[in-house]
């Protein structure tokens, strides 16, 4: 009988201890649920770490900035055309020529413009119809300058070159000359020369 009471008492103590432990555990869980939550950077981004992801934006941020390329302006294009034309000085005159083996005047113009994607006719008369007319005093690099043929009294276009100077400077041009002496691609002036009397128009084609 005494043993039964001892067992009964032990069970009561165990039940009380279990009840206290369970109550304390529930209290701790409630406290934990009330504490502010902290999130990692990857949690804020839906579990994706931008530093480790291969998405578009992370690739953009990691790329080194490339220097911007300058656009080709009319002035730069004119400089390029003139520079190329000057590099051909000394090329012989060749009737109907359009290659570096030899040029006639309109063939020279045709060749140096075509190199930069600008197609012009292989004819002095037709070149006088290209672009727009500008005064001789406003002639600038890359403009076409048209003259009569060797007979200054015949106003039919017969010769053409490319201006290599800027407004305010004495007008000079590079061209393929058919002259017996010092013919071929060369530089000539307009003022105080036979070309001054033969001058017809300046045509702006750029």
Active-site residue 159, yes or no? yes
Q: Are 141 and 166 in contact (CB under 8 A)?
A: yes
Catalytic choice (28, 100, 105, 111): 105
Whole-number Å distance between alpha carbons of 124 and 157: 6
**CA triple 162-119-191, angle to 5 deg:** 10
Whole-number Å distance between alpha carbons of 152 and 93: 21
The answer for residues whose C-beta is within 8 angstroms of residue 94's C-beta and 6 or more apart is: 101, 102, 103, 104, 107
Active-site residue 175, yes or no? yes
Specify the DSSP class assigned to residue 49: -
Active site residues: 105, 159, 175
């Amino acid at each position: 009988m005494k043993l039964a009471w001892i067992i009964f008492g032990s069970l009561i103590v165990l039940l009380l201890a279990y009840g206290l432990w369970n109550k304390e555990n529930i209290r701790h869980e409630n406290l934990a649920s009330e504490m502010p939550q902290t999130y990692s950077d990857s949690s804020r981004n839906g579990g994706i770490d931008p530093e480790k992801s291969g998405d578009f934006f992370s690739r953009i941020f990691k790329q080194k900035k490339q220097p911007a390329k300058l656009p080709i302006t009319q002035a730069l294009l004119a400089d390029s055309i003139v520079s190329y034309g000057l590099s051909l000085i000394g090329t012989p005159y060749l009737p109907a020529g359009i290659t570096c083996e030899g040029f006639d005047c309109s063939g020279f113009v045709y060749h140096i413009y075509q190199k930069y994607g600008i197609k012009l006719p292989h004819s002095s008369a037709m070149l006088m119809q290209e672009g727009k007319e500008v005064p001789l005093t406003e002639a600038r690099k890359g403009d076409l300058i048209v003259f009569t043929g060797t007979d200054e009294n015949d106003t039919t276009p017969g010769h053409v070159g490319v201006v290599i100077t800027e407004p305010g400077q004495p007008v000079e041009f590079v061209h393929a000359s058919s002259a017996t002496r010092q013919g071929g691609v060369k530089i000539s002036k307009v003022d105080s020369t036979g070309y001054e009397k033969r001058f017809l128009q300046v045509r702006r084609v750029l």
